[in-house]
A and B are shown apart, each in its own frame.
Chain A
Amino acid sequence: MTEGPHPTDGHPDGAGHDLAALSPEEPIPNPGLPPHEPRPTDVDAAQERRAERQVAGMFILAALLALAFCVLYFVIPPPSDQSATFMGYGASNLALGLTLGLALLLTGAAAIQWAKKLMGNQDIIEARHSTASPPNVREEQVAAFKLGVAESGFGRRTLIRNSMFAALGMLGLPAIVLLRDLGPLPGNLTSITVWKRGIRVVNDVSGTPLRPSDIAEGQLVNAEPALFFDEVGPNGKVIKAKYTGTALNDQKAKAAVILVRMLPTDIKSAQERAWGVNGIVCFSKICTHVGCPISLYEQQTHQLLCPCHQSTFDLTEDGKVVFGPAARPLPQLPIMVDKEGYLVARSDFHQPVGPSFWERG
C-alpha cells in the first residue's frame, strides 16, 4: 500500500494542487479507511452479556432440535397408507423437516449474530501480491528438474523409456474392450413390435376386446395387444398372458397404441382410411420425438398432442406432424375385424415406432 496524498482541510483547491503529485499507477487519491466506530456490545457490558446469551441460546436450541429429530424419527412411524397425519400433512415428514430445518436455521443465525455483535470488527487491509515466484526460486526449480531428468536416464535409456510407453499405452486397450459390454447390438428389435396379423386390439388395464360397435364417434381407447393380458378362450379356458414382468415392459414400450373413431369422411388420406375400420384408426402411442406416451387427443380437431414437448400429430392425415420437434409422422397400425367381430391387427407397423435411431436414417 503506497501512501497516497491526502487532501486536507488546509487546501480548499486541493484537487488541482495535488494533481501533479499523483502517480499514473494511482490516479485517484486513497481515501483510507473510515474511522472504527464501536458497537453497543463493545461499549456496554450488559448488551454484550445479552448478545452472548442470545448466541448461546440459539446454539443450544439447535442442539436440542437435532436431538428431537432423532427422537421423532423413531417415535412417529414413516409415511405409509396408515401413518399419522397433522393438518393434512404426513406427521413424520412434517416433524423431521421442521426440527432439522430449524436446527440448521438457528445454527446459521447464531453464527451470524456472533460475528456481527461479538467478534472483533476492526477493518483490515490485506495487500495483494504478485502470483509469480521470485526469479531465483524459479531458476532453482528448473535446475532441479533438469537434474532429475539427467539422473533418471530418461533421455539416455531409450529401451526402458519406450517399453514404459508401451505399457502405459496398452492400458488403454482394456478400457476400449470393455465397451463391448454396452452391446450386443439390438438387431431389428427397434424396428419390430409384437403386433402380428390377427392379434386382438384390447383396452389397456382391463384387457377387454373391442368391437367396432362399442366405439363411439369421438372415442379414444388406450389399447394394447391381447398378448399382454389373460384371455378367456372360445372353450372357456383361460389363456395366460404371453408376456409378464420385464419382458412385458420391454414390449409394452413399443406396442402401446391408441384407437380413435372419427367420421370416415373426416379422414383425408385414402391409405389411412383403408388401414382403419369405418373411421376407427389405430396409431402408435409412442411419440416419434423421444418416445413419450401420447394420448392427449382432441376429438374435434383430431389432433394428438405430446405432453412432453408439444409435438402435435394430425390423425386425419397419416399422423403427420403439424407442430413441435417430432420429425416423423406417427406410425399407423393397419386393423381389421376378425371372424368373431373383434378388432385385430392386420400386420405389424410398417415403420419402426418411437424415436429415430441411426439405422432408421
Chain B
Amino acid sequence: MKFLSSRRRHPLAGFVVLVLGLLVMGGLYSMFRPAQAEQGANDKQLVAQGRELYVVSCSTCHGMNAEGVVTKTGDNYGPPLVGVGAAAVDFQVGTGRMPMADPGPGQAQRVPLMTPDETRALAAYIASLGPGPAIPSPGEYDAAHGDPAKGGLFFRTNCTACHNFAGSGGALPHGRQAPDLMKTPPKYIFEAMETGPGQMPKFSNGVMTPQDKRDIISYIQHLKTTPGYGGLKLGSLGPVSEGLWGWLIGIGGLILIAVWIGNHGVRAGKKSK
C-alpha cells in the first residue's frame, strides 16, 4: 500500500489510472457482450454469402457493386440498390418479383426463386452497402395490435386509388397493375409501404408511423374475414364485374329462358310422329 500511496501524486499516476480503467471497462464489455461479437462474425459471413448470390443473380442489371446500370437513353436498366435497405430486398426477392423473369412493366408475385436463407443473405449484403429500412419484426406488422377502424380511414385515403376499395387490386397505365392485397402476407404489405416497390410511392415511417401501418394491416385482415352481406362479391371489382354479370348472365340468361319457353311446345302429335 505504501508503494501506491507514496506515488499517487506522480505525474504519470493519472495516466496509469486511466489506462487501468479502460482495461477494466473493455474487459467487462467483452464479457457482457459476447453475443454481439459473434453476431458480427456471423453477419460478415452472411454478407459474404449474399455478395456471392448477388454477383450471380442480380449484377447483370444492378451492376457489380449495386451501383445500377444506366441505359443509353438515361433510364435505369436496373436501379442502384445502395440504401434501399433489407426490407426492399426481402419484399422483392421474397415475393418472387426479383430476380426478374423477363423485363417488362409491373412485376407480379411469383414463386420465389431464392430460399428464405438466401433471401436473408442477399438482404444482409444490400443492407451493408448503405443505411435503409430493415426487415420489420413480426411484432411490427401484427394485425392483432392494430386498430382496424383507424386503419380503414388510412386505407381509404391512401391505398384505394390503386388497390381498390376492397383491396382486390386494379389496373395502372401502360399495362401495369396494382396487386391484390388479399393474398399478400402482412410482412410484405408493411415492407411495400415502407420501401415503395415499382411504381408504388413510399409511405415512410416519419409520416405513416409503424402504428399507422399496423392499423392498415389490421384493416386489410379485417376485410378478409368480412362476411358477404351483399351476396356474391364477384371479385369485389365494382361496377365492371357486376355489370358483366348483370348483362351477360342475368339478361342473357333471361333471353335464353324466354327462347326456350317459346320453342318448347307440348303437342301430342309431335310426340307420336
A residues near B (Cβ < 8 Å) are 37-43, 79, 85, 88-90, 93-94, 97, 112, 116-117, 203-206, 208, 210-211, 213-222, 260, 293-301, 303, 305, 307, 310, 312, 323
CB nearest to A210 among chain B residues = B207
What number of B residues sit within 8 Å (CB to CB) of A? Answer: 37
B173 touches A312 (CB 8 A): yes
Residues from chain B with Cβ under 8 Å of A216 in the complex: 196, 202, 204, 206
B268 touches A43 (CB 8 A): yes
B207 touches A208 (CB 8 A): yes
User: Measured between alpha carbons, how far is A203 from B207 in the docked complex, in Å?
Assistant: 7
How many whole Å from A60's CB to the nearest CB in chain B? 22
Interface stretch of the complex, out of B40-48, B184-192, B224-232: B224-232
Known: A42-B268, A79-B229, A205-B153. 10 other contacts (CB 8 A): A39-B267, A88-B228, A90-B229, A210-B206, A211-B206, A218-B196, A296-B161, A298-B172, A299-B200, A307-B161
Residues from chain B with Cβ under 8 Å of A42 in the complex: 268
Residues from chain A with Cβ under 8 Å of B230 in the complex: 90, 93
B201 touches A218 (CB 8 A): yes
User: Measured between alpha carbons, how far is A204 from B157 in the docked complex, in Å?
Assistant: 7
How many whole Å from B208's CB to the nearest CB in chain A? 7
A219 touches B267 (CB 8 A): no
B268 touches A89 (CB 8 A): no
A214 with B201, Cβ < 8 A, contacts A117-B266, A298-B173, A305-B173 known:
no
How many whole Å from B149's CB to the nearest CB in chain A? 11
CB nearest to B271 among chain A residues = A40
A214 touches B227 (CB 8 A): no
Residues from chain A with Cβ under 8 Å of B201 in the complex: 218-220, 260, 297-299
User: Measured between alpha carbons, how far is A205 from B160 in the docked complex, in Å?
Assistant: 14
Residues from chain B with Cβ under 8 Å of A204 in the complex: 157-158
Q: How would residues 252 to 273 of chain B score, 1 for a CB under 8 Å from any chain A CB and 0 otherwise?
A: 0000000001001011111100
Residues from chain A with Cβ under 8 Å of B161 in the complex: 293-296, 307
Interface centre among A42, A89, A312 (most CB of B within 10 A): A89
Q: Which of A79, A112, A219 contacts B261 (CB 8 A)?
A: A112
CB nearest to A256 among chain B residues = B157
Q: How would residues 193 to 234 of chain B score, 1 for a CB under 8 Å from any chain A CB and 0 otherwise?
A: 000101111111011110010000000000000011111000
User: Measured between alpha carbons, how far is A211 from B207 in the docked complex, in Å?
Assistant: 9
5 contacts between A and B (CB under 8 A): A42-B268, A214-B206, A215-B207, A260-B201, A307-B170
A205 touches B270 (CB 8 A): no
Residues from chain B with Cβ under 8 Å of A94 in the complex: 231
CB nearest to B159 among chain A residues = A295
Residues from chain B with Cβ under 8 Å of A260 in the complex: 201
Q: Which of B196, B268, B270 contacts A219 (CB 8 A)?
A: B196
A39 touches B268 (CB 8 A): yes
Residues from chain B with Cβ under 8 Å of A312 in the complex: 173
A93 with B229, Cβ < 8 A, contacts A213-B206, A299-B200 known:
yes
User: Measured between alpha carbons, how far is A238 from B9 in the docked complex, in Å?
Assistant: 60
Residues from chain B with Cβ under 8 Å of A301 in the complex: 173, 199
Q: Which of A41, A208, A222 contacts B158 (CB 8 A)?
A: A222
Residues from chain A with Cβ under 8 Å of B157 in the complex: 204-205, 222, 295
Q: Does B150 contact A (CB under 8 A)?
A: yes
Q: Does B154 contact A (CB under 8 A)?
A: yes
How many whole Å from B130's CB to the nearest CB in chain A? 14
CB nearest to B162 among chain A residues = A296
How many whole Å from B192's CB to the nearest CB in chain A? 12
Q: Which of A97, A112, A215, A300 contacts B206 (CB 8 A)?
A: A215
Within 8 A of A (CB), among B161-182: 161-162, 170, 172-173, 176
A97 with B231, Cβ < 8 A, contacts A219-B207, A298-B172 known:
yes
Q: Which of A85, A214, A293, A303 contacts B207 (CB 8 A)?
A: A214
CB nearest to A40 among chain B residues = B268
User: Measured between alpha carbons, how far is A40 from B203 in the docked complex, in Å?
Assistant: 74
- Return the 6 tightest CB-CB contacts between A and B, nearest first: A214-B206, A37-B269, A220-B201, A90-B229, A298-B199, A296-B161
B150 touches A205 (CB 8 A): yes
How many whole Å from B160's CB to the nearest CB in chain A? 9
User: Measured between alpha carbons, how far is A43 from B161 in the docked complex, in Å?
Assistant: 67
Interface centre among B150, B173, B269 (most CB of A within 10 A): B173
Residues from chain A with Cβ under 8 Å of B228 in the complex: 88-90
B231 touches A93 (CB 8 A): yes
A116 touches B207 (CB 8 A): no
